[in-house]
Amino acid sequence: MGRAPLRIWRRLLPTSGPVSGSRWLMLGSSTSPATLSRTMTRGNATVPAMEMTKWFDTNYHFIVPELGPNTKFSYASHKAVNEYKEAKALGVDTVPVLVGPVSYLLLSKPAKGVEKGFPLLSLLSSILPVYKEVIAELKAAGASWIQFDEPTLVLDLDSDKLAAFSAAYAELESVLSGLNVLVETYFADVPAESYKTLTSLSSVTAYGFDLVRGTQTLGLVTSAGFPAGKYLFAGVVDGRNIWADDLATSLSTLQSLEAVVGKDKLVVSTSCSLMHTAVDLVNETKLDSEIKSWLAFAAQKVVEVDALAKALAGQKDEAYFAANAAAQASRKSSPRVTNEEVQKAAAALKGSDHRRGTNVSARLDAQQKKLNLPILPTTTIGSFPQTVELRRVRREYKAKKISEEEYVTAIKEEINKVVKLQEELDIDVLVHGEPERNDMVEYFGEQLSGFAFTANGWVQSYGSRCVKPPIIYGDVSRPNPMTVFWSKTAQSMTSRPMKGMLTGPVTILNWSFVRNDQPRFETCYQIALAIKKEVEDLEAGGIQVIQIDEAALREGLPLRKAEHAFYLDWAVHSFRITNCEIQDTTQIHTHMCYSNFNDIIHSIIDMDADVITIENSRSDEKLLSVFREGVKYGAGIGPGVYDIHSPRIPSAEEIADRIDKMLAVLDTNILWVNPDCGLKTRKYTEVKPALTNMVSAAKLIRTQLASAKCAIRPR
């Protein structure tokens, strides 16, 4: 068995989810893999897209495989092998990365029509022959290492699930013979029983651990021991954030591990795939030089890993380590990081739960008297299509090719177009379409203190969609109103209620690169106070409906159940802070999308929003099962009636059928009708007919409800 070269492990390619790289190897079909994958992710005229959800607690999404007792697995795509061969032909010996068989099954779901409790792991014996084929072909192509990602090992797994790992890798042992086999975990600590199971796999040569987010795993290695002769891949360099590594601290950690596992068996690594961070700091020519010295993107993280590996081998680059220590000291002492006024305001939040003074049912009554909405009110989630012309206007304004007056005129014209369209469609509560916004987090970060921005710090979210997360480097405050002008402008164009659109503090936090020098909840409270000022200014400006999106609240939920309560407490509290002092007649909406919300429904209720709109259609209406099981929800709620991430246009009948299903478990007077998410990524040729059908469906159900009510009236 060969050694890992240079005791360094570089993981730059996307390896974190079932839709990237070779993740769809198990899907058999006569259709080409590319066509099949496109249909699964986008749907077509007759088949809706498959469910999309977050990859663990990241902002990366994956398409959830749908399996059943009759699923037949076959080796459908040779992408992993072809890419290995392509790299080898260029003189680069790479490590193929496959999602492990057990994690693949555990992250799947029973297909529609399959019994809810179907044991997905019962398919293990059916899927392993395909893995054997892939492994055999990679061996034949010359691969000496193979990496299996088994991130589900960081979750709370029962003994049956742990036994599946033992069974799977025992079954694969013969075909893995002669290979170096790495099983990689990431994003959290590995529980003690999972650690014991993993390190007992005889067919595995190496074990990888995230030692940034999984600090307790370090204690397991040193206290529970490590199998002799095996490699430990120590993920000491953070693969999910953009801060330069504290090399002195990491080197100390590595030296303590070296004493346990042996000098030749310790491999320096990033904590996870580097797909979750930006690519190269060299591309950031306009970033503030002081802040830039504190950062490391993917390319720089590889250099850090290399420097640590060499230092461990006695070849320490003293100048590089000294420069790193100076940057660490600069960040700690920089006055731009700390704002005493902000810290005092955040500290003063302790001791109150920041709830509105009136319960939600009384507030809804007061709001209805003012808004006078029909039953099953219709609305959209916020954004409208971002056209080529609209992006051109923003780009030219940023480049100072057009004046501020020209820019404002162009944006007002776009808002007016969106308002008139919604009025023509007869939507009840309108939005301004967000034409001035590049991104729902970046737009706010650009107007808050304590944030920095990259020019090219793109990170993949799903498919070809990438985001450019802001960098939170210091204490956060709001110097000036951020959205009030545009919301008031839009409201002046219509007599219908116009929603003020804000991104909530938890989502801004979870979709940014967050400072790591203070607890995340402290930063979140600071953002909450900034958003609170904006909410109050919108209300003062005559905006009667304000939506505070918390699309990423579920995403930040820790992977271990023991840590859920603490996170949900401060996350929900942060949301309540934003709107705790507004009038009963001002209606607060929030929105969540593309996650499994059923296990946190009580925390969602505790947010105390007046109305929540939430993804529902793409996940096969999984959300509704919570209400079937008896959860009582008294606030307004709008489970999405159609999937906006697919170009497919649902019929009015299909949407009406969805509304009927919702009315089977939700009261008529609290149900809203809306899409799953914002319309930014869609075209107007898709949006107009879809919204037309949505409004038609709502009116149809209203008519049916009115007829049924008349039919039972006493004569």
Asked whether the predicted pLDDT for residue 1 surpasses 50, the reply is: no
pLDDT one-digit tens code per residue, 201-259: 999 999 999 999 998 999 999 888 899 999 999 999 999 999 999 999 999 999 999 99
The whole-number pLDDT of residue 687 equals 97
191-202 mean pLDDT: 96
Asked whether the predicted pLDDT for residue 702 surpasses 70, the reply is: yes
403-424 mean pLDDT: 97
Asked whether the predicted pLDDT for residue 29 surpasses 60, the reply is: no
* DSSP code for 277: S
**Contact assessment for residue 60 and residue 16, using Cβ atoms and an 8 Å cutoff:** yes
Asked whether the predicted pLDDT for residue 15 surpasses 50, the reply is: no
Q: Considering the chain, what is the average pLDDT of its residues?
A: 91
* DSSP code for 611: E
Going by the annotation, the residues of the binding site for L-homocysteine are 381-383, 549
The whole-number pLDDT of residue 620 equals 60
Going by the annotation, the residues of the binding site for L-methionine are 381-383, 434, 549
Length of the chain: 715
Going by the annotation, the residues of the binding site are 59, 381-383, 434, 465-466, 511, 549, 591, 593, 602, 606, 615, 677
Task: Provide the pLDDT confidence category of residue 12 given band limits of 50, 70 and 90.
Answer: very low
Q: Using CB atoms within 10 A of its CB, is residue 270 exposed (0-12), middle (13-18) or buried (19+)?
A: buried
419-440 mean pLDDT: 96
The whole-number pLDDT of residue 713 equals 52
Going by the annotation, the residues of the binding site for Zn(2+) are 591, 593, 602, 606, 615, 677
Asked whether the predicted pLDDT for residue 8 surpasses 80, the reply is: no
CATH architecture of 372-677: Alpha-Beta Barrel (3.20)
The whole-number pLDDT of residue 40 equals 76
pLDDT one-digit tens code per residue, 433-486: 999 998 899 999 999 999 999 999 999 988 888 999 999 999 999 999 999 999
- CA-based angle 161:274:287, to the nearest 5? 145
- CA-based angle 74:77:81, to the nearest 5? 115
**Contact assessment for residue 367 and residue 587, using Cβ atoms and an 8 Å cutoff:** yes
Positions marked active-site: 645
Residues carrying CATH 3.20.20.210, the chain:
372-677
The whole-number pLDDT of residue 645 equals 81
pLDDT one-digit tens code per residue, 336-372: 999 999 999 999 998 788 999 999 999 999 999 999 9
Q: Which residues contact 448 (CB under 8 A, 6 or more apart)?
A: 476, 477, 478, 479, 482, 527, 530
